[in-house]
Structure 1
Amino acid sequence: MTTQIVILAAGMGSRLGRSLPKPLTALGDGRTIMGQQHDNIRAAFGADAKITTVVGYRAETVVDAFPDAEYVYNDRYDQTNTSKSLLRALKATGKGGVLWMNGDVVFDPRVLGRALSLIEAEQSFVTVNTAKVSDEEVKYTVDAQGNIAELSKSVVGGLGEAVGINFISRADKAALIAQLGRVDDQDYFERGLELAIAENGVRVQPLDISDLYAVEIDFAEDLERANLFV
């Protein structure tokens, strides 16, 4: 079965201070952030992986750089957050499970290899890093069974940080779509997941990748840190 991948790349990424969309930021090895993501996806899932990218800000620059991907356009990219971009993508990808990632994450190729068994088992998951818990990042807690209980920037006593690479199974997809439709325009997609867990009984496992690198690029210092790995 073809694996469906979604990359969320609609935002303006203004904090990094670049004119191009953040996923087109060049890394030290000559690739862009999105180029590194595409390489990692192909390495894990092969040439048959179906990549759908949500674009908005300067969409044509992303399309020109990666003409073989499929695209969903968020025409309200300047008024909405990742919840609404993911909603558009999930509606465009049929009934199958979807692996999705933020378009500004530079990550170890082994992350997706570690995720394969959960994807094949149709087990929804959120990739996490337990090595650090920063106040400004999305944090999580777990329930008695070890599944995700809370998932937001406001979590108190978080066990770690969400990395921005996640999977929703075929069985759980409809519940997440419904909740993403309910949340506020400025909510992150994690709010939809949190509601699907609380109200629909969706079970989402934390996938620990603390021993691997994954860097979300928000500021110039994040880019410097990512370049230490690539």
Structure 2
Amino acid sequence: MTVNVVILAAGMGSRLGRSLPKPLTELSDGRTIMQQQHDNIRAAFGTDVTITTVVGYKLEHIIEAFPDVEYVYNEAYDQTNTSKSLLRALKATGKSGVLWLNGDVVFDPQALVRSASLVHADRSFVTVNTAKVSDEEVKYTVDAEGFINEISKQVVGGLGEAVGINYISSAHKQALIQQLKRVDDQDYFERGIELAIQHDGLRIEPVDISDLYAVEVDFAEDLERANLFV
């Protein structure tokens, strides 16, 4: 089974204040954020994997750094959010399930190793932790059966943070595509997931990686924290 992985890397990442796309930010071990993602993907799934990167802002720098992967262009990268980048990627990857990552997440390689069995079983999931979360972070709740119920920055009483590593199964993919078409240009992809749960009955499992590190690098202090782990 070839695993299809998407990295969302179209945004401008202006909050970090760097001249290059945020995924090309160098970590303390000399790798870029995106290089550690590639390394983690290979560690979990070997060479039988197809990586598709959604690019926009200063795309030539990412393509030059990683010439051997597939690319999807979000030409409206400065007018849209992750919902429309993910939509483009899902439409470009055929009927198979897709594992996708935000392009600014620095994470423990075991996060993908732990979830590999669900990927191979083609079961939709969202990777989460149960840490205390702030207003800026994407939070989640679960239903009575333990499946994801709500997932957004606006969730009240969230159980923890959704860390930006997710999988949509081949059976659920078309429903998510249709809901991503519906959402506003400035919505995050999580809004599409919520709508697919509400209107299409998708059952999406939370995968708890609270014992592992996963840092979404938005600000300089996030980068400092990520560098404590790598």
Give the TM-score range, shorter chain: over 0.9
Query: Could you tell me how far 1:153 is from its partner in structure 2?
Result: 0.5
Q: Within the alignment, does 1:94 sit opposite 2:89 as a pair?
A: no
Equivalent-residue separation in structure 1 for 2:216 and 2:106 (angstroms) = 6
Query: Could you tell me how far 1:135 is from its partner in structure 2?
Result: 1.7
When normalised by structure 2's length, the TM-score is 0.99
Which string of whole-angstrom CA distances, capped at 9 and with x for unpartnered residues, describes residues 86-107 of structure 1?
0000000000000000000000
Q: Within the alignment, does 1:176 sit opposite 2:192 as a pair?
A: no
Moved over 3 A (4+): none
Equivalent position of 1:118 in the other structure: 118
3-state DSSP class of the match of 2:151?
strand
Equivalent-residue separation in structure 1 for 2:25 and 2:172 (angstroms) = 33
Equivalent position of 1:49 in the other structure: 49
1:16 aligned partner, one-letter code: L
Equivalent position of 2:148 in the other structure: 148
Query: Could you tell me how far 1:131 is from its partner in structure 2?
Result: 1.8
Worse-superposed segment, 124-133 or 104-113: 124-133
When normalised by structure 1's length, the TM-score is 0.99
Equivalent-residue separation in structure 1 for 2:15 and 2:120 (angstroms) = 37
Equivalent position of 1:2 in the other structure: 2
Matches within 5 A, 1:196-207: 196-207=196-207
3-state DSSP class of the match of 1:39?
helix
Query: Could you tell me how far 1:117 is from its partner in structure 2?
Result: 1.3
Equivalent-residue separation in structure 2 for 1:47 and 1:32 (angstroms) = 20
Matches within 5 A, 1:15-164: 15-164=15-164
Q: How many residues align?
A: 230
Q: Within the alignment, does 1:218 sit opposite 2:222 as a pair?
A: no
2:213 aligned partner, one-letter code: Y
1:218 aligned partner, one-letter code: D
2:56 aligned partner, one-letter code: G
Q: Which runs of 5+ in 2 are unaligned?
A: none
3-state DSSP class of the match of 2:67?
coil
Equivalent-residue separation in structure 1 for 2:117 and 2:173 (angstroms) = 18
Equivalent-residue separation in structure 1 for 2:40 and 2:157 (angstroms) = 32
Query: Could you tell me how far 1:74 is from its partner in structure 2?
Result: 0.3
3-state DSSP class of the match of 1:164?
strand
Query: Could you tell me how far 1:55 is from its partner in structure 2?
Result: 0.1
Which string of whole-angstrom CA distances, capped at 9 and with x for unpartnered residues, describes residues 63-120 of structure 1?
0000001000000000000000000000000000000000000000000000011112
Query: Could you tell me how far 1:136 is from its partner in structure 2?
Result: 1.3
Equivalent-residue separation in structure 2 for 1:33 and 1:207 (angstroms) = 22
3-state DSSP class of the match of 1:172?
helix
3-state DSSP class of the match of 2:171?
coil
2:37 aligned partner, one-letter code: Q
Equivalent-residue separation in structure 2 for 1:80 and 1:135 (angstroms) = 21
Query: Could you tell me how far 1:47 is from its partner in structure 2?
Result: 1.3
Equivalent-residue separation in structure 1 for 2:177 and 2:212 (angstroms) = 30
Equivalent-residue separation in structure 1 for 2:195 and 2:93 (angstroms) = 21
Q: Which runs of 5+ in 1 are unaligned?
A: none
